[in-house]
Amino acid sequence: MPLNTRTYSDLNMSFTPNPITQDILKVTGPNSVVQAVVNLVQLSHYDKPFHPEIGSNIRSLLFEQLDMVTADALAKEISYLLGNFEPRIKTKNVIVQSNSNLDGYDIEIEFYLLNLTSPLTISVFLQRLR
């Protein structure tokens, strides 16, 4: 397949088999990129073997005090992470709001997928578990 027609395609992280072929399902196009962005946000330093620079400090930030300062730090971490390690997107906006009722952060990542005119938005709620 020529490169200019290639679409993004990745394994579906649910690892569900296709009921007929028994192959693991794929995610393609923007969904594949969205899945990668969510994965990246959840990646800590030293998660990848021999590459401690890939990842972010987000997990430990969740254990900081729940306030605007930490929210701002989270936003910067996410922007830095996506800017460096996800070349397929151009981040438009990262909005992090502390949610004291649920003891976590509402995170909205707005980005452009390269060669796609309309922005995509991912909404994640991050909460410390332990």
Partner 1 sequence: MATNNSKLQLTNLDFDTIKSSLKTYLQNQNEFADFDFEGSGLNVILDILSYNTFYNAFYMNMVANEMFLDSAVLRQSVVSHAKLIGYTPRSAVASQAYLNVTITKTPGDNTRVLKIPRYTQFAAQGANNTSYSFYTVDDTVYVQNNSSTFTFTNVLVKEGLPVTKSFLYNQATNPTAYFKLTDVNLDTSTMTVGVQTSATNPSYNIFSLAQDATEVSKNSNVYYLEEAQDGTYQIYFGDGVLGAALSDQNIVTVSYLVTKADLANGCQTFALQSQVLSGSSSNVSLSNMNNPSFGGAQIEDIASIKFTAPKSFISQNRAVTVNDYINLINKNYPYFNAVNVWGGNESSPPVYGVVYVSAIPKTGFVITQAQQQYLLNTVLKPISVLTVTPKYVNADYDFLNFTVNIMYNPAKTALSAQQLQSAIGKSIQTFSNQYLSTFNSSFYYSKFLQYIDGTDNSIQASQATIYLQKTFTPDLSNTTSYNLNFGVPLHRGTLNDRLYSAPYFNLNDQSGNQQQCYLEEIPFSFGGVDDVQIVNPGYGYASAPTITISGDGKGANAYPIIVNGQVTSVVVDNPGDQYTTATIAISGGGSVGTPAVLTPILLGSTGTLRTYYFDSMSTKKILNNNAGKIYYSNGMISLINFGPSNVGSSDQSLSIYAQPQDSIFSSSQHIVLAYNSNDSSALNINLTPVSS
For residue 51, give Cα distances in angstroms to 59, 87, 94, 130: 18, 17, 25, 25
Nearer to partner 1, 6 or 101 (CB): 6
Please, what is the minimum distance in Å from the beta carbon of residue 60 to partner 1?
A: 19
Output the smallest distance, CB 12 to partner 1, in A.
8
The total of other beta-carbon atoms located within 10 Å of residue 33's CB is 22
Smallest distance, partner 1 to C-beta of residue 85, A:
5
106: part of which helix (H) or strand (E)?
A: strand 104-113
Q: Which residues bind partner 1 (CB under 8 A)?
A: 1, 6-13, 23, 26, 32, 35-40, 43, 48-50, 54, 85-88
In angstroms, give the least distance from the CB of 1 to partner 1.
4
Rounded CA gap, 42 and 110, in Å? 17
CA 47/CA 52 separation, integer angstroms: 7
Task: Return the number of the residue (14 or 65) whose C-beta is nearest partner 1.
Answer: 14
Give whichever of 48 and 67 is closer to partner 1, judged by the CB atom. Answer: 48
| Closer to partner 1 by Cβ: residue 6 or 130 | 6
- Cα(96)–Cα(12) distance, integer angstroms: 27
